Amino acid sequence: MLTIAQITDLHVTTRRDPLNHVRNEQRLRQVLRSIHALKPRPVAIMASGDLVDNGRPDEYAELKAILDECEIPIWFGMGNHDKREAFLATFASGFQLDPDGFVQYAVDFPGLRMIVCDTLEEGHDLCGFTATRAQWLADTLDADRVTPTVIFMHHPPIVSGVRWMDPEPDAPWIGQLAEAIRGRDQIKAVLCGHVHRAFHGLLAGQVVATAPATSIQVTLDLSEVDPGQPDGREILVAEPPGFVLVMTEGGRVTTHTCVAGDYEPAVVFTRPFNFI
């Protein structure tokens, strides 16, 4: 059995923003403790974007100071709050850039292939996945049509129903991504972040799922909203931080959505199971 943990939407910041600096760091550390305690311990952690809140060099320095304490190798993807130049100045090794300078690469683990896509369009919250990036993904998928593969990207190509967070369902990038992944049976899941909630759906016959944030979560409110007309609704909520665990064994891939934290045991294994 091999496992990989996905964390997303860390939004690490500095003392310029005291509330989020303390809260987001504490929540990230809580998630990392929970991941380190897993049995077996994951072989890697994938941080799928919005690593920091404003893309500043001092924020990446704060993030590095936290992650330097981690005992598990960490891989990175870009989110809409990130800035590539500042990120690369702090985290300059351990992964590849594609020929166009995007943070896109593939990593091979025993029995599992991980492909990381770059969806960042700097200066915009919307997804920046383009035809060029979609072609890179298609070519990377074609390089190995056998090994079970999980794709990581920040922006999900499906709608959650939380209107102010969702992409347009007919956005060109979604169609480009759909064509890149259609019919490639080695893909077991497309795992995303961005929405600060766990949900899942299908695109081009492939499972798409998102991870909860390590920072605060988006409130689950599926009612209509006019983004230009504030109506006093709650949009973010301090639900517990979470992460996703990807498990592969015997060619099968399963994902678990996990709540981070320390909880009292409810039942312990003191006698043989009688239902097996």
pLDDT higher than threshold 80 for residue 26: yes
Average pLDDT over residues 198-227: 97
Indicate the pLDDT class of residue 274, thresholds 50, 70 and 90. confident
In tens, the pLDDT along 127-140 reads: 999 999 999 999 99
Count of residues making up the chain: 276
pTM of the shown model: 0.96
Structure-block tokens of residue 184 = 């490639």
pLDDT higher than threshold 80 for residue 8: yes
Looking at domain 2-259, its CATH class is alpha beta
- Which among 74, 75, 158 has a CA at the least distance from the CA of 118? 75
One-letter amino acid for residue 32 of the chain: L
- Which among 31, 41, 38 has a CA at the least distance from the CA of 2? 41
In terms of Cβ atoms closer than 10 Å to its own Cβ (0-12, 13-18, 19+), residue 145 is exposed
DSSP string, 81-143: T--HHHHHHHS-SSS---TTS-S-EEEEETTEEEEE-----TT-SS----HHHHHHHHHHHHT
In tens, the pLDDT along 236-273 reads: 999 999 999 999 999 999 999 999 999 999 999 888 87
Structure-block tokens of residue 257 = 């959505």
